[in-house]
Structure 1
């Protein structure tokens, strides 16, 4: 892709192009999501960027899975902010039976007490676990590929790139919308960032969280220099060009890496925000984000509030087919949204 070779002095021209693509395919609305670290730390994996690994000497507050009541309270806060989704995140390679059962309990409690969509990020999944999540009402599954296949061995050795990719396919084929992205500034090249973008396109992502390395003391990448904020904006623009119709969501590290260029990144292609804190680092206040969106003239949108809440028909697994797609679970080249092709009930909002 020739635009990847443009010097950073041409960044305004690249952003002008990616902004046109954003407006053409997605409009100017911005969706909000909050996340909760429902189980923090003691993860057996060795991801070089992550302070939650038991293999790294980091200073974080480790805690077991929180109770369902804590999840409900956090989800209600998301709802008050106008967020459309609430994501339950646990630090594990993959959930054991005890942890998974607690997650299912929490999902059901959130769905019973709020109107936010529930997403989960639980690590590597089995087919049976994915199907149980769908039955419980989970709409979206997050499992980040993190980086390109060619760079992944520099980041993690305790599981493979295909382990991650296969979980994405399992979640997608079970009927959940697929959320998968990466973290940038770990030493990868611009072309390797593009490699990740095309991989995400190939597996049919609906949402892509863009994280930027905020080096954590005690991790192998703890002494890394932060990414140039202009490169962060360039990354956003390139992802928007490769993935014109997906939800590109600002995620961890944006405050520290982009600093005064966060608004420029919104122009470059961002149409989703994680509001509030991240897993082990603090985000900026929701008020600051709302002010940024107001200054940009970007409205907060909540498609669940406008179009009803999709609930699953008992005994049926919803599959999603995007216009122009080859089969359910895949995006069409120009698709902006997926439509259900198996029975669902739509519950109108009160």
Structure 2
């Protein structure tokens, strides 16, 4: 790609605000232009996300159906067997995924048998030639190092929202806890996957502040998931309104302009989007989606693989292969 725009980490909050508040058509045009300078607009990375340990989390994240304190219909499941996870990763690769993400509903990683098993999962998925990502909660520096040695490619730890709004949605940890884990991940040589969620009741200024924080890190996250709140019955945010597609397009377009090299991932909320609405997100710079065998993104609905195949065919999109550097067929 013709990479004319340099990477900047010195964005001012005023610059981010100006970009975010551009007219929607202008913002989408500018973001699409930058996207084409850094990426092939016809390729989208297909990632598979697997919940390897579900529910029972002691945190109080107001959006999360896996928090033990909320009365939801989510069934608590213990850590999966290593062999079962590797089998899931193999099927994901056969379906066109090049990145396999494993999520455990923990507040923090503990040095015990479960963590040893996660390390074995990472080794096994890495051996398949896939990018390996985990989201396990807070880490220590030593735990990050052990994950890197096992073959971990990336670690997901979202900011969720702005620093000012953070305590409105989570009280069992603070914003700096998030930043500390990200620092340990970066020091260990693991790429950072970090984005946020919109639709939590936050203001436009909170969204702008979150994007500013991401774009002014010493190194931009290599991966930036943009999530729309998936409303889970029984959680404090269950009755909030659906995030409008134009809000997602605005977030994705702003993220693309600020962090041109990053993979901007269209994450939670796709099940409530039409093909046309998702097309707007791709046009604005999204170049990754998540799939799942269970048609769930952790514990919330996600489109069927057949629906994604049909969408890719209609829009002329192709999943890309990291190893062969060629386009794959989703089927």
Q: Scaled by the length of structure 1, what TM-score is found?
A: 0.83
Structure 2 CA distance for partners of 1:246 and 1:154, relative to 1, 3 Å: same
Query: Which of 27, 37, 59 is equivalent to 2:40?
Result: 27
**Structure 1: which 5+ runs fail to align?**
308-350
Query: Which of 248, 253, 257 is equivalent to 1:241?
Result: 257
Alignment of 1:121-160 (within 5 A): 121-160=135-174
Alignment of 1:216-227 (within 5 A): 216-227=232-243
Query: Which of 117, 125, 128 is equivalent to 1:102?
Result: 117
How far off is 1:259 after superposition?
6.7
Q: What's the C-alpha RMSD, in Å, of the aligned pairs?
A: 1.6
**Structure 2: which 5+ runs fail to align?**
1-16, 327-331
Contact 1:214 1:256 in 2 (8 A): no
Aligned pair 1:169/2:161, yes or no? Answer: no
Paired position in structure 1 for 2:314: 295
Paired position in structure 1 for 2:199: 185
- In 2, the alpha carbon distance for the partners of 1:258 and 1:182 equals 22
- In 2, the alpha carbon distance for the partners of 1:271 and 1:46 equals 31
Aligned residue for 1:306, secondary structure, equals coil
Aligned residue for 1:264, secondary structure, equals helix
Contact 1:227 1:257 in 2 (8 A): no
Contact 1:72 1:106 in 2 (8 A): yes
Instruction: Kindly report structure 1 stretches of 4+ aligned residues shifted beyond 3 Å.
Output: 257-260
Aligned pair 1:59/2:59, yes or no? Answer: no
Alignment of 1:1-350 (within 5 A): 1-6=17-22, 10-28=23-41, 29-96=43-110, 97-112=112-127, 114-203=128-217, 204=219, 205-256=221-272, 260-276=276-292, 277-306=296-325
Paired position in structure 1 for 2:4: none
How far off is 1:133 after superposition?
0.4
Contact 2:270 2:303 in 1 (8 A): no
How far off is 1:257 after superposition?
5.2
Paired position in structure 2 for 1:339: none
Aligned residue for 1:151, secondary structure, equals helix
Q: How far does the alpha carbon of each residue in 1:65-112 deviate from its partner, in whole angstroms, 9 at most, with x for none? A: 000111111101210122111011100111222221110122222234
- In 1, the alpha carbon distance for the partners of 2:52 and 2:129 equals 20
- In 2, the alpha carbon distance for the partners of 1:171 and 1:278 equals 24
Aligned residue for 2:37, secondary structure, equals helix
Structure 2 CA distance for partners of 1:283 and 1:35, relative to 1, 3 Å: same
- In 2, the alpha carbon distance for the partners of 1:36 and 1:4 equals 32
How far off is 1:289 after superposition?
1.5
Aligned residue for 1:150, secondary structure, equals helix
- In 2, the alpha carbon distance for the partners of 1:290 and 1:247 equals 20
How far off is 1:295 after superposition?
2.1
Q: Scaled by the length of structure 2, what TM-score is found?
A: 0.88
Q: How far does the alpha carbon of each residue in 1:138-169 deviate from its partner, in whole angstroms, 9 at most, with x for none? A: 11111111111111111100000000111011
How far off is 1:226 after superposition?
1.0
Q: Which deviates more, 285-294 or 153-162?
A: 285-294
Q: How far does the alpha carbon of each residue in 1:114-153 deviate from its partner, in whole angstroms, 9 at most, with x for none? A: 2212111111000110010011111111111111111111
Which structure has more relative contact order (CA 8 Å, sep 6+)? It is 2
How far off is 1:219 after superposition?
0.5
Contact 2:62 2:237 in 1 (8 A): yes
- In 2, the alpha carbon distance for the partners of 1:117 and 1:55 equals 34
State the aligned residue count: 303
Contact 1:15 1:237 in 2 (8 A): yes
- In 2, the alpha carbon distance for the partners of 1:240 and 1:127 equals 30
Contact 1:197 1:243 in 2 (8 A): no
